[in-house]
Amino acid sequence: MKVLANDGIATEGVIALEKAGFEVILKTVAQEQLVDYINDNKISVLLVRSATKVRKDIIDNCESLKIIGRGGVGMDNIDVEYARGKGINVINTPSASSHSVAELVFAHLFGMVRFLHDSNQNMPLEGDKKFKELKKAYAKGVELKGKTIGILGFGRIGQATAKVALGVGMKVVAYDPFIDHANVELGFFDGQTVNFEINTIPKSEVLMQSDFISLHVPAQDEYVISEREFNLMKDGVGLVNAARGGVIDEIALVKAISEGKVSNAALDVFESEPTPEIQLLMNSNISLTPHIGAATLEAQTRIGEELATQIINILG
């Protein structure tokens, strides 16, 4: 059977699949050519990340497809229930990239509270001429230890983010409409573990209590954070979105920054991705990355291995 990894797959996943007798095709087929390619080559498994869309046209017209796999958590780019209704297995890798996303959140947070995203631009330009001025400008950083982080969405990635926060010494408050409480196990290099029982609280309470807020929610029809939510937050709050573009009202975010409600924000995802709004890209109070939350070597290895295992279990 043939597997088309249209958006790529780690070498470890390829090796595992080939050992199990699958032919893995590492080729990126244009969206409009996918139906013909799948049919011409009798593809049994289509693997995608976020670039390729698997909608009804592919599902209805590709009878050889037995599995659609998403390398990652969110499956917004796949008509999941429709595919399953047609008898096609739809799989993803919900836990493989959780820690990678959590580390990116804290890369942004550490950078934000010490102005690294701004100083890394200005030091090369003016560090030799305005060293003292820059030193003064960046001398009012704060520590994360002892602060409260609010986590909106307390699934796997939200809990992974909580683990890093607890390790840093932060207080964690969380909201999730589907989770009442979670046992968060914090593991250390020597095998010791510490368990934290975290009960979720109403969203409004999280917004009011938090010094920093991190979003870990799926794509939704309405904004999770808009002007109403900003009004509930503390003045000078920090905000991170490494979840999905479109869960924050970006116009309201820019306004909240300009008014001092939000001191700094970090965005890894955008409403108009892959062409983010210029007012976001040019705002010195926003730390920016190009949707790389799961893009670590370790996460991609885990994703490839997890996809291979599921495929082999289903079709092997």
Residues forming the active site: 244, 273, 291
What tokens appear for 128 in the block?
């030799």
Gap between the Cα atoms of 284 and 62, Å rounded: 47
Tokens of 48: 């995608």
Q: What tokens appear for 112 in the block?
A: 């934000």
Give Cα separations from 223 to 42, 101, 108, 198, 243 (angstroms): 41, 21, 22, 25, 13
Distances 96 to 123, 183, 208, 298 between C-alpha atoms, Å: 37, 19, 32, 9
CA distance 153 to 102: 13
Both tokens assigned to 277: 């709004």
Interstrand relation of 181-187 and 193-199 (parallel, antiparallel or unpaired)? antiparallel
Task: Find out whether the peptide bond into 274 is cis, omega within 30 degrees of 0.
Answer: yes
Closest CA to 176 of 130, 131, 142, 214: 214
189/199 Cα distance (integer angstroms):
27
67 beta partners: 45, 89
**Residue with token string 């003064």:** 136
